[in-house]
Amino acid sequence: MITIKMTKGRVIDSWGLCPIVSEDCRRNSDFMKLWVSETVSLFGTQITFVALPLTAVVSLHATATQMGFLNASQHVPYLLVTLFAGVWIDRTRRLPIMIGANIGRAILFGLIPLSFFLGVLQMESLYVIALLAGVLTVLFDVAYQSYLSSLVKRTELVEGNSKLQTTASIAQVSGPSLGGILVSLLTAPVVIIFDSISYIISAFSLSLIRKREPKTEYRMERGTVFREMKGGFRLVLVNPYLRAIAGEAATYNLFYTVVWTVIFIFMTRELQFGPGLVRRDSSKYWGTSGFFDRQLFWETL
């Protein structure tokens, strides 16, 4: 059983290993670069959360069916690519993948305002951009989730994750509202350029990280990828905790995507909402989640 005590102004566990409140992360310059990179890109992503569907609904007069295709284009990569990406990324350096994914997304989302200015933007273009950006997002997310452990010490992991999650919570609360305001001032396709710029800044910040990842000596054999994908899927099925988490995530994502498909059409055409009022009410919850991450972690132990 873990007990908590104060030692030299820091709260530590009974093993003396993991400080719950630490300043180490702030002194880790490479972590700060990762934190800045993720903060900037998260705000850009949340702006696009509003701007992309409004581009389809307002600028291109998309139907509910077309919004369904756009939504599917964004989420299909999570279904088809995630397992393979996890096995592959586990055997290579994460940082180049993260930088490349950000540069790729900057180019893809930059094509939307460019196509709009040239008068050639169509729904089919959004399908392709959303699909390719979804693939790059999967690669980035998988690499990002395992990269932190190679960047900071074990004693800094809880604090680092808490800081990153707090930033994500702030972006989820304020990003969509900021996106709605910008759309009302500049139009939806133009606002997406901010997301493109955010990915460029994010990639640049990541490129400044100096700590090198350890090389992997793994040699991939024929059939190894599919065998390990199968093993990972089996682990989720047999582990009751992982199975419950996977079931909750699948259920939430199913109904979330159903709502997402029609909510922007409903708000803009039926309720006559302006872009400044289009935001995620559910995001209010996330403002407090990062604050409790560390406490929840220790209570679980």
Dihedral angle computed from the Cα positions of residues 235, 236, 238 and 240, in that order, rounded to the nearest 10 degrees: 140
pLDDT level of residue 10 (50, 70, 90 thresholds): very low
Q: pLDDT at position 70, please?
A: 92
Q: Tell whether the model's pLDDT for residue 294 goes beyond 50.
A: no
pLDDT level of residue 167 (50, 70, 90 thresholds): confident
Q: pLDDT at position 128, please?
A: 95
**61-82: burial string, b at 16+ Cβ within 10 Å, e else:** ebeeebbbbbbbbbbebeeebe
Q: Tell whether the model's pLDDT for residue 111 goes beyond 80.
A: yes
CA distances to 11, 36, 290 from 295, in Å: 12, 24, 10
102 is written with which tokens?
């950000």
Average pLDDT value for residue range 245-265? 81
Q: pLDDT at position 6, please?
A: 42
Q: For the chain, give percent helix, strand, coil, nearest 5.
A: 80, 5, 20
Q: Which residue has the tokens 């800044």?
A: 201
CA atoms within 13 A on the CB side of 67: 23
Residue 11, SS3?
strand
CA atoms within 13 A on the CB side of 224: 10
- 278 contacts 268 by C-beta, under 8 angstroms: yes
Distance CA 191, CA 181 (A): 10
Beta bridge partners of 144: none
Distance CA 40, CA 36 (A): 6
**216 or 186, greater pLDDT:** 186
Percent of all residues in the chain with a pLDDT value above 90, rounded to a whole number: 24
Task: Give the other-Cβ count within 10 Å of 174's Cβ.
Answer: 15
**Could you report the per-residue pLDDT of 77-95, keeping only the tens digit for each?**
888 887 788 778 877 888 8
Distance CA 12, CA 151 (A): 21
Average pLDDT value for residue range 6-21? 42
Q: pLDDT at position 125, please?
A: 93
Q: pLDDT at position 24, please?
A: 56
**139 or 230, greater pLDDT:** 139
216 is written with which tokens?
């992997």
pLDDT level of residue 13 (50, 70, 90 thresholds): very low
Lowest mean pLDDT among 52-56, 150-154, 247-251, 257-261: 150-154
**Could you report the per-residue pLDDT of 20-56, keeping only the tens digit for each?**
444 555 667 888 888 888 889 888 888 888 889 989 9
For residue 5, give the H/E element and its range.
strand 4-7
Lowest mean pLDDT among 2-6, 53-57, 140-144, 245-249: 2-6
**Could you report the per-residue pLDDT of 263-284, keeping only the tens digit for each?**
888 887 787 776 655 654 434 4
Distance CA 58, CA 265 (A): 9
Distance CA 62, CA 65 (A): 8
pLDDT level of residue 198 (50, 70, 90 thresholds): very high
Lowest mean pLDDT among 75-79, 190-194, 253-257: 253-257
- 192 contacts 55 by C-beta, under 8 angstroms: yes
Q: pLDDT at position 99, please?
A: 94
Q: pLDDT at position 124, please?
A: 94
Q: pLDDT at position 4, please?
A: 40
